[in-house]
Amino acid sequence: MGIFIVIGAIIASMGIAMYTYTQYQTNYITANAGEPIIIGPVEYTIFFEGTHGGNEDTRPENTFVKIRINAKNTSDEETRMSGGQFYIVDEKQKKYQAVYGAFSSEDLLEDWLEPGKTASWTTQFDVPYDDEKEFSITIKPTKQQNTVDIGNVCIKNC
């Protein structure tokens, strides 16, 4: 009888572990530039806006690749938006973080998105840019958005 109790406890603990594992497994969502992608409570549409050489205060080491981020909060609570949520990834899978500077009034550093509202920002990344290379944007949710979704949006040469 004791053996059956031990075996039952092992099977139950394995079942609980599998359930917990599947609940916290990362969910990767992919899209192309201009297509909507939902990551947690936010629907994003990412566009490639081109390249630039910075401004008087901030110059890139390589080239700035600029993207436009259109976001709509689909929840009933405001959510925090940050430029740190976005990474550009080259064809060798090397990640680059966003670069902050006073490039325009639309640059995303940190902002709050109201429930049901849509907003638009830009951000840029200092990367060794080549018109022939493939680039994609990785979107990670903020901690407050509480989701296991991670987005990947191809913006160039997909």
- What class, spelled out in words, does domain 28-156 have in CATH? mainly beta
User: Minimal CA–CA distance to 43: which of 125, 151, 121?
Assistant: 151
pTM for the model stands at: 0.82
Helices (H), the chain: 2-23
Cα separation of the two ends of the chain? 61
pLDDT 10s digits, 65-115: 999 999 999 999 999 999 899 999 999 999 999 998 778 888 898 999 999
